[in-house]
Amino acid sequence: MNAMTPTEKAKPETAVDKDWWRGAVIYQIYPRSFQDSNDDGIGDLAGIRQRLPYVAALGVDAIWISPFFASPMNDFGYDVSDYRAVDPMFGSVEDFRALVDDAHHLGLKVMIDLVISHTSDRHSWFVESRSSRANARADWYVWADAKPDGSPPNNWLSIFGGSAWEWDPTRQQYYLHNFLASQPDLNFHNADVREALLDVVRYWLELGADGFRLDTINFYFHSAALTDNPALPISERRISTAPAVNPYTWQDHLFDKSQPENLDFLRAFRAVLDEFPAAAAVGEVGDDQRGLDITAEYTSGGDKVHMCYSFDFLSGGAPTAAAVRKTIEKFEAAAPDGWACWAFSNHDVVRHASRWAQAKTDQLAYLKTMAALLMTLRGSVCLYQGEELGLPEADISFGDIQDPYGIRFWPEFKGRDGCRTPMVWSSNLPNGGFSAQKPWLPVPDIHRAMATNTQSGQGDSLLEFYRGFLHFRKAHPALIKGAIRFVDAPEGVVAFTREHGGEAILCGFNLGAAAVTFAPRAKVAEFEGTGLAGKLASGVIELPAHSAFVGRIVDRL
């Protein structure tokens, strides 16, 4: 568990792969909950360093570290008060540099979470902006006068509930906040704001970061005219970016986000990344109606962001085979030259082991099948810490809840703490080996029983399946960068081919609860060592319930 020492030899320099991100598997680390190195109950950068060998051994290509910038932690780091400082609870800039060095030694890229749609209300920019209507940064945030009756400028709503406008008594104006009132939105219509943020991008790239995860990438610009959003018919409401109890889902968000001006900013952002050898970025697209279309728009043309993810697989019930095919084909049609990043879980949503697997008769088989599906789709992949252990959503009592989102809507919506509990390393140590002291969120007993030490070396465990399949994937470029083409399959089965550089692979996934046979229109050879339950017998693929098959296409029939 020791971090690397400066005396260890670094790997020899290799040619820069500017395309490393295409098909990369990115492991998301929530720093508060990964590893506590100083026993204060909160994870930190030094703790991440200690656990990097574990991450590298999984077979992933990069890590994404959720925010560790200076912050009052009203939204646990997504409210930044200083973009160039590491919050002391996580360590220092020197700790970040050491982490990058260790990660690079292990062959891992380091992506950091860049939150630039808004800041904390304690950021010096906002403190100055709210001080008067005539200061140098007066227009750095989105300010607007009240209506004649004193009400907010328009009907825009906050994702965290209520109006997206907060009254400021000093300026006698409202300011925009798409999230907490303590997270005022920056005014991207101001060129000075855009340039200041691009300087932040350069700062972290110069410190060694390999790229960024861009929080709420489609929230940067708002309609300058502050036009009201129209109501959304009940039949069209979805609950991917906000829970059903939040009336945010009642509007069609045409004017408070996803504005056309964002395209030019993303081109300027990409130009800064292109100043560096191989920097890359993945954007988070939050939009219930147009998520895939925006993802396609932002990643097409090779001049904007490298890849994006939407919430198509991050909310709702278990996807059907038909839904998986429809989602992927829709994106492929919208942006043939674009690139998606697919994810099933992250720090904002209920873990998919609970959302999808708990209703299945064989949860382990189902989770293995879905993991293989995720890692064979065309696109890059984000894995969330603990996903490889099959951790379910933790049940957090109201007395332990920390998330302001959950406090606001409890008990109908319990917030995001259930997916943010500490990583479990040992079933035998206090708090799962995360910390010797009481952690900021409790560690459930069910999680301790699923700790890494209980699964390592166990051939049928989910952890060993992830390790094996990730290394299998790395050995087959077709699964990383190959084209995808769906093929007809029995009901409940999603099947497709991946092809690249002369290699062609057939993938089939039975998402149903009954066994199915599948006769491919090709001569297929079975791969060894995939860990999948699907088998080939006399040219027919046999798929038990919740199983998968991956084989090499030898010849077309």
Helix (H, G, I), strand (E, B) or coil at 266: helix
Q: Which two tokens stand for residue 57?
A: 């051994």
Residues 6+ apart with CB under 8 A from 215: 67, 78, 113, 114, 115, 116, 117, 284
Phi first, then psi, for residue 538 (nearest 5°) are: 55, 40
Residue at token pair 């300011």: 175
Catalytic, out of 121, 185, 215, 387:
215
Can 275 be counted among the known catalytic residues?
yes
Catalytic, out of 275, 303, 400, 491:
275
Identity of the residue numbered 210 = D
Q: Smallest Cα–Cα separation from 6: which of 107, 94, 112, 111?
A: 94
Radius of gyration (C-alpha) of the chain in whole angstroms:
23
Cα angle, residue 419 at apex, residues 281 and 466 outer, rounded to 5°: 65
Name the β-bridge partners of 141.
186
Q: Smallest Cα–Cα separation from 509: which of 519, 495, 520?
A: 495
| 153 in Cβ contact with 144 (< 8 Å) | yes
Can 215 be counted among the known catalytic residues?
yes
| 135 in Cβ contact with 126 (< 8 Å) | no
Cα–Cα dist 375/381, whole Å: 7
Active-site residues: which are they? 215, 275
